[in-house]
Amino acid sequence: MSLPIGAQKRTTDGVIGVSGAKIRLYELIVVSTGGGGAVVNIYDGTSTAGVLMDTINGTTSLTVRAGYVGGLFLGSGCYIDLDANTSFVTAIYEQENSIF
């Protein structure tokens, strides 16, 4: 059983959804600044000390979408690390119920 799908916008590094809880990331929309292409790292955990699961490279002044068929499962939570060229990201996710 999972909680409903949600969306969260971040302009700084941080956790998506409930900190440390299981989550399934379906899509990450990355918007780069005019200064360069964004680099966004996705970690399984609550900080950059977690396991690096994916890196998304953006394009200057454009939007890039990364989709995960079936969802990218992150058992220890989802932490997003944004570089200086990232304007913002929007995550589409499903928070997993703690009984799983």
15: number of Cβ within 10 Å: 19
The band of 100, judged by pLDDT with boundaries at 50, 70 and 90, is: very low
Summarize pLDDT for 8-18 with one digit per residue, the tens: 999 999 999 99
94: number of Cβ within 10 Å: 18
Longest dimension (CA), the chain: 44
Domains of the chain: 2-96 (2.60.120)
Tell me how far apart the alpha carbons of residues 32 and 82 are, in angstroms, rounded to a whole number: 10
- How large is the average pLDDT for residues 30-50? 96
pTM of the model: 0.91
Asked whether 92 and 43 are in contact (CB, 8 A), the reply is: no
